């Protein structure tokens, strides 16, 4: 399976994306997925529009992309985190 | 330079505010007066909150984690504001919705991408039901400082702040 590019984005690219980034890297390890994870600001998503396979974000996305977008607030609050992980896995294993 | 600063002066209890912006200005000004952030931090954090709201409903009370770019920060710190009356903040990732926030954790981060441990410990406070409600009700700032430092896993030895990373 080709290496999938996962964008992890928040407003500043500082705080919440750091948490989500780590959660995804742990998932990748656990499920032995070879991922290219990019931690970016939401404003930078466009530069990856051609290469990304998935966007996981704590911010709102107005624009439509060709890849799935998953909201990841649950990694911060702990509420519904298993559902979010499943959504991410499903998107990556497609 | 990279020492993390969190003392009683970083805590504002019974904070009275009209709205989310008012909360951010009061907390930001306090950090500025403590010399932890530049004056530009206040406008920057207000603007960032307008664009990317940071309210987080947890399983108990709602919190908000306003933050902004690192260039506005002089020294890494957080500030905790416990609101006298809850104030509406936009929900993170869902700004059409608001949540009534009781406790605000303002983050002043001075490095990008490299504060995973601190942030993870902070999020663990949100996921720890009794911890949040204790912070929301406690009137003794010294107790909040102790509680938060122990949860953030900071030990203070002779003024040196270090991370007790091996505990977990």
Please tell me the class of the A4-93 domain: alpha beta
Name which of A55, A61, A76 to mutate to probe chain B: the one with the most chain B Cβ atoms within 10 A of its Cβ. A76
pLDDT of residue B2: 53
Who's near A31: CB < 8 A, 6+ residues apart?
A89
CA angle A64, A67, A71 (to 5 degrees): 75
Q: B131 and chain A: CB distance < 8 Å anywhere?
A: no
Interface predicted TM-score (ipTM) of this complex, two decimals:
0.82
pLDDT, tens only, B34-70: 999 999 999 999 999 999 999 999 988 999 999 998 9
- Chain A residues with CB under 8 Å of B168 CB are none
B 37-76: CB under 8 A from A = 48, 51-52, 56-59, 65, 67-70
Give residue B16's Cα distance to chain centre: 17
Predicted confidence at residue B152, as pLDDT, reads 83
- Window 42-71 of A: residues touching B by CB (8 A cutoff) are 42, 57-60, 71
Encode pLDDT of B121-136 as tens digits: 888 898 887 899 999 9
What is the pLDDT averaged over residues B68-87? Answer: 95
Tell me whether B97 touches chain A (CB under 8 Å): no
Q: Answer whether residue B164 shows pLDDT above 70.
A: no
Chain A CB contacts of B51 below 8 Å: 11
A10-42 in b/e form (b: 16+ CB < 10 A) is bbbbbbbbbbbbbbbbebbeeeebebebbbbbb
Walk along chain A (94 residues) and give the pLDDT tens digit of each residue. Answer: 679 999 999 887 778 888 899 999 999 999 999 999 999 988 899 999 999 999 999 988 878 899 999 999 999 988 899 999 999 999 998 7
Domain B8-167 in this protein, CATH class: alpha beta
Which of residues A90 and B160 earns the better pLDDT score?
A90
Q: Å from A77 to nearest chain B CA?
A: 6
């Amino acid at each position: 399976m080709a290496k999938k590019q996962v964008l992890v984005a928040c407003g500043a690219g500082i705080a919440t994306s750091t948490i989500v980034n780590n959660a995804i890297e742990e998932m990748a390890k656990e499920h032995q997925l070879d991922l290219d994870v990019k931690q970016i600001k939401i404003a930078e998503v466009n530069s990856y529009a051609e290469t990304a396979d998935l966007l996981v974000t704590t911010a709102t996305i107005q624009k439509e992309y060709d890849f799935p977008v998953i909201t990841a607030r649950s990694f911060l609050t702990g509420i519904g985190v298993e559902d979010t992980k499943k959504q991410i896995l499903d998107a990556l294993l497609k | 330079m990279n020492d993390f600063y969190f003392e009683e002066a970083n805590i504002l209890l019974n904070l009275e505010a009209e709205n989310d912006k008012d909360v951010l200005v009061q907390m930001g000004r306090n950090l500025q007066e403590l010399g932890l952030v530049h004056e530009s931090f206040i406008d920057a954090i207000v603007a960032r909150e307008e664009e990317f709201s940071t309210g987080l409903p947890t399983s108990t009370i709602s919190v908000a984690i306003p933050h902004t770019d690192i260039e506005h920060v002089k020294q890494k710190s957080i500030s905790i504001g416990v609101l006298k009356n809850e104030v509406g903040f936009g929900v993170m990732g869902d700004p059409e919705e608001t949540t009534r926030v009781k406790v605000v954790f303002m983050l002043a981060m001075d490095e990008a991408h490299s504060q995973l441990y601190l942030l993870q410990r902070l999020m663990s406070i949100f996921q720890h039901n009794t911890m949040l409600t204790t912070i929301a009700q406690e009137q003794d700032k010294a107790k909040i400082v102790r509680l938060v430092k122990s949860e953030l896993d900071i030990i203070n030895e002779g003024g040196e702040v270090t991370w007790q990373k091996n505990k977990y």
